[in-house]
Structure 1
Amino acid sequence: MSKFNTARMRTGATSAVRTARTPTGRTHEGAPGYERTPKGELFLLAVSNMVGENTFYESGQARDSRYATLIRANTLADPEWTARFLRWLRTSANLRSAALVGAAEFTRARLDAGAHGMSRQTIDSVLQRADEPGELLAYWLSSYGRALPKPVKRGVADAVRRLYDERALIKWDSPASAVRFGDVLDLVHPAPAADKSWQGELFAHALDRRHNRDTPIPDGLPTLRARAELLALPPGPRRRALFDDAETARATLRAAGMTWESVAGWLQGPLDARTWEAMIPSMGYMARLRNLRNFDRTGIDDAVARDVAARLADPAQVARSRQLPIRFLSAYRATSRSRRWRPALELALGHSLASVPALRGRTLVLVDTSASMNAGFSQDGSLRRWDAAVVFGIALASRCEHADVVSFSTITRVFDLRPDEALLRAVERWRTGGYFLCGGTETAAAVRRHFAGHDRVVVLTDEQAGGRDVGRALPATVPLYTWNLAGYRMGHAPSGSHHRHTFGGLSDAAFAAIGLLERGAHADWPF
């Protein structure tokens, strides 16, 4: 009888996150654990790490320390790889804090090793929003003191020339920040960009603001001058009267660079429907997504609401916004009593999951809903790791030719996947139907119980299994794809080859690796 030349024979392929082939330790729940290479451990930690946030098994401080240690180790071992990774982490994975901390620690490691080059460019590459130079400097000052090395100064200065303009100053230069725009300028001394004749006046004005110097706003800064005129209006009816004519209000606010947050402060009271209607055309995608409940509460006009919904559902706008898929779930829950936004949010979520592959054959999708997956990872605590697992799990299953979806913990429960059911409705049915089990993490038992000749098994989990070895719970010829959502040190199965592969993150990007591996191609890093 043939052992290798069978119908299940698959071309061998490798993936980026690699481990030893045999257990090297234990998971937090005591199952055989597989230690990843430093690159693999860093990758999975970074794409799931909200800096400073506690997780079920690891404090925020311990997690951040491990992250910094991994950045420094990989910087010394392979600085080119680490620099590419950090740029990707900020520009494609859209994770701000991890990228900024990573760039600072990359630079510190290079300096300590006496290495030259790369640090300036790496710092510049992760600074993509005008508040981020101050963020990175605040981290450096709190970690390493006020002495700023030249690569830090030059990298931040490069970003300042690229990012600082009038609207950035209005939006991001806040007295609540420890490191304001003027502080950044004092610390790194950037020369104005040669092609921005107004930037010298902007820098001078930012310094005057920071040092409380009562100097006139330069003529070359019309947006700031327009804003000053608005602020000079006495509070009360004269400010509210601006919104008597929506077109005039819209043009005036746009000319003054007023965001919805600054208008709320300027009016010194709640925003009503006509105020929102005047501002909505100038609001960005994320601002609209965040304020859907406010739009409903104040009763904006139905025609305006339709325009908001159309923009939310537009695939080009979704791609440009770079919102993580779970943000649409958060918005859906925040507006659960309203039917205005459901179709648009459903479409938007679908567009944000464009990389989810269509898989032929039979797929077993196991979603970890143990207690450790109930850990939050959003700042407001509204989103849990198991929310992300369910979104990705159902999205994948709905694209499969045939899929069995199972929630597992100490026990298991099969989820009834309904054809043509909208994804967000399926996720809410999961929540209200009691599929979040909140027990232990018996992954191997769930695999053994529900595997029935499937072509592949996909597990969405934090990998902190109890019990037996997960990788050996199904035949070696059947691919096991683990989607890691927490980034702990030990994995629950081998990874990198022999039909055992681990991915991670909070976006759909890693799904593309499944298609590559199924075609026998090698799935390298996504950068």
Structure 2
Amino acid sequence: MKFNQSATEKAETVNHEGAKAYAMTPALELYSAVATTMLSDISYESAFHRLARIRTLVRKVSPTFVAQLALYAREQLYLRSAPVVLIGELAKHHHGDSLISRTVARVVQRPDEITELLAYYQLTNNRQETKKLGRLSKQLQKGLRIAFNKFDEYQFAKYNRAAQVKLRDALFLVHPKAKDEAQQVIFDRIVTNTLQPPYTWENELSSLGKQPFADEAAKKTAFRNKWEELVASGRLGYMATLRNLRNMLDAEVSVATIQRVCDLLGDAAAVDRAKQLPFRFLAAYREIKSVKSGHVAMLNDALETALQLSVANLRGFTAETRVVIACDVSGSMQVSVSARSKVRLYDIGLLLGMLLQSKCKNVLCGLFGDTWKTVNLPGRNVLANVEELYRREGEVGYSTNGYLVIDDLINRNYIADKVMLFTDTQLWDSRTNNMSQDNTIEAKWAAYKQLAPNASLYLFDLAGHKNVPLQVESNDVYLLAGWSDKVFDVLQALEDGESALSKIEAISL
């Protein structure tokens, strides 16, 4: 079955700015909503309403597609909350076969996802009685039993948190069968809460912080030694290393330690295992840029290398392919991806745009808001390019006049092959208050196709709202969604004549 077929009824609607827009098919809307959320408030939509919309959409598509999307979100987009929601809703509405258990067993990749899934199951089924998790779905229970067998004592101890649903509760509910005597010992320790404390940077630093020191100098020396020990031990994970670059610089660790960190960041195998979203490298880059240390340059180079390694399979275009990359810097893009993150949708658009630019030979890139402005940047040093664009975003204002990108191409008689907009898709004409149907991206694209009949327009949806400014899968207009470099796999599928959902539909269950 193809889920991305054009709707038989072209449902016209309006977007959040009151401009003309089009509704998506349920499957495409669900994909867009899931690929662009950490279930935090964003412009135009609260986390509560995003969750409610995902729940409604799940019931409008095939259970198989929901399972495939959950696996795609967890295994390829590296999201955690959205797959939990999809599985919880699937368990609520779908019964009778092993689809749920097989999907759960793959989606759960950390011990705390067992308890997260149980907590969500309790929430979505409105359990209020004393035994809130009684009458657990048999297939959910079966999948969680398999998941319990994935983890060792270190992993269980690391994620054994004092939450509403604890690992101990999950063990009693799921009744997993230990695969051997050693695992049975671990299960018994979960029950008695006697798991061996894990060696983690959090525990090590917390323990050190509780010790008395003669003076501030002694304390600083102790923390410097501890960071050097953590790095030398090889047990400081890749993401933990990214998160703590500033702490290491502040502790004034040795140049040998910094070199070890750089070696880890730039190790291709380590990058592949870490499976970090591209914006994690940007967050680390920004965190250290103001630190007064001679080691910042080394770390910046390592982060650029790591980012390039993380997208090593990103395919660009030939020297003959003329590409236009336009990044939306409107006010609605100035919102963080989650409550705890400093990275905004705007940052992700710039980063994905610059990643794509680095793979293209003939590219025109720029920013749009009130106006559209092209910016010439080198192909190398993606993170530095993002910072340069970030510095210049105020030059174009904060509206969403995306039609100006196409209008400029028409006025200059510029024949592009690929026009790519990184946006929240809530495009409108701020100059005439939405009253003119001439100043819409739909009208401008129709006019541009007369000039460049072979051109394609790609909307990289970074916010997952339920409408788009022009009909997709029509007149060479395509929608892609997400914050991961995997969005470029979807681009390649479209280039190969497949649909935007082909990568999801191809997932075996």
TM-score bracket for the superposition, by shorter chain length: 0.7 to 0.9
Q: How does 1:397-408 map to 2 (within 5 A)?
A: 397-408=357-368
In 1, Cα distance between the equivalents of 2:70 and 2:244?
A: 31
For structure 2, the 5+ residue unaligned runs are 211-218, 430-438, 505-509
- Residue 470 of structure 1, aligned match among 424, 441, 446: 441
Secondary structure of 2:367 counterpart:
strand
Whichever residue aligns with residue 252 of structure 2, its letter is G
Q: Given that residues 355 and 511 in structure 1 are in contact (C-alpha distance below 8 angstroms), is that contact kept between their aligned partners in structure 2? A: no
1:314 aligns with 2:302: no
Partner of 1:390: 350
Q: How does 1:135-284 map to 2 (within 5 A)?
A: 135-144=116-125, 145=127, 146=132, 147=134, 148-163=136-151, 165-175=152-162, 177-193=163-179, 196-209=180-193, 224=196, 227=197, 257-269=198-210, 272-280=223-231, 281-284=234-237
Structure 2 CA distance for partners of 1:99 and 1:518, relative to 1, 3 Å:
closer
Query: 1:435 deviation in Å?
Result: 4.9
In 2, Cα distance between the equivalents of 1:436 and 1:327?
A: 26
Query: 1:21 deviation in Å?
Result: 8.5
Partner of 2:507: none
Instruction: Please list the CA deviations of residues 357-384 of structure 1 after superposition, one character each: whole Å capped at 9, or x if unmatched.
Output: 3223211111111111111113324010
Instruction: Please list the CA deviations of residues 273-293 of structure 1 after superposition, one character each: whole Å capped at 9, or x if unmatched.
Output: 111111122111111111111
Secondary structure of 1:458 counterpart:
strand
TM-score norm. by structure 1 comes to 0.82
Whichever residue aligns with residue 496 of structure 1, its letter is E
Q: Given that residues 363 and 457 in structure 1 are in contact (C-alpha distance below 8 angstroms), is that contact kept between their aligned partners in structure 2? A: yes
For structure 1, the 5+ residue unaligned runs are 1-13, 210-216, 228-256
Tell me whether 480-489 or 438-447 shows the greater mean CA deviation.
438-447
Q: How does 1:107-122 map to 2 (within 5 A)?
A: 107-111=91-95, 115-122=96-103
Query: 1:433 deviation in Å?
Result: 2.8
Structure 2 CA distance for partners of 1:80 and 1:515, relative to 1, 3 Å:
closer
Q: How does 1:83-102 map to 2 (within 5 A)?
A: 83-102=67-86
In 2, Cα distance between the equivalents of 1:18 and 1:274?
A: 61
- Residue 305 of structure 1, aligned match among 232, 243, 258: 258
Partner of 1:445: 404
Whichever residue aligns with residue 500 of structure 1, its letter is V
Partner of 1:72: 59
Partner of 1:61: 48
Query: 1:56 deviation in Å?
Result: 0.5
1:47 aligns with 2:35: yes
The structure showing larger relative contact order (alpha-carbon pairs under 8 Å, at least 6 residues apart) is 1
In 1, Cα distance between the equivalents of 2:347 and 2:381?
A: 16
- Residue 110 of structure 2, aligned match among 129, 145, 154: 129
Tell me whether 328-337 or 374-383 shows the greater mean CA deviation.
374-383
- Residue 346 of structure 1, aligned match among 304, 307, 310: 304
Whichever residue aligns with residue 128 of structure 1, its letter is Q
Secondary structure of 1:25 counterpart:
strand
Q: Given that residues 409 and 415 in structure 2 are in contact (C-alpha distance below 8 angstroms), is that contact kept between their aligned partners in structure 1? A: no
Tell me whether 510-519 or 385-394 shows the greater mean CA deviation.
510-519
Query: 1:16 deviation in Å?
Result: 4.4
Structure 2 CA distance for partners of 1:172 and 1:523, relative to 1, 3 Å:
closer
In 1, Cα distance between the equivalents of 2:51 and 2:397?
A: 26
Q: Given that residues 20 and 34 in structure 1 are in contact (C-alpha distance below 8 angstroms), is that contact kept between their aligned partners in structure 2? A: no
Query: 1:441 deviation in Å?
Result: 1.0
Whichever residue aligns with residue 514 of structure 1, its letter is L
- The count of aligned residue pairs is 459
Whichever residue aligns with residue 298 of structure 2, its letter is R
1:28 aligns with 2:16: yes
Whichever residue aligns with residue 189 of structure 1, its letter is H
Partner of 1:425: 384
Q: How does 1:284-299 map to 2 (within 5 A)?
A: 284-299=237-252
Query: 1:81 deviation in Å?
Result: 2.2
Partner of 1:480: 457
Partner of 2:472: 495
In 1, Cα distance between the equivalents of 2:493 and 2:149?
A: 40
Q: Given that residues 43 and 332 in structure 2 are in contact (C-alpha distance below 8 angstroms), is that contact kept between their aligned partners in structure 1? A: yes
Structure 2 CA distance for partners of 1:365 and 1:348, relative to 1, 3 Å:
same
Secondary structure of 2:149 counterpart:
helix
In 2, Cα distance between the equivalents of 1:33 and 1:192?
A: 54
Query: 1:15 deviation in Å?
Result: 9.9
In 2, Cα distance between the equivalents of 1:390 and 1:306?
A: 29
Question: What's the C-alpha RMSD, in Å, of the aligned pairs?
Answer: 2.2
Instruction: Please list the CA deviations of residues 149-174 of structure 1 after superposition, one character each: whole Å capped at 9, or x if unmatched.
Output: 222222222211222x2102321112
Partner of 1:412: 372
State percent identity of aligned pairs: 29
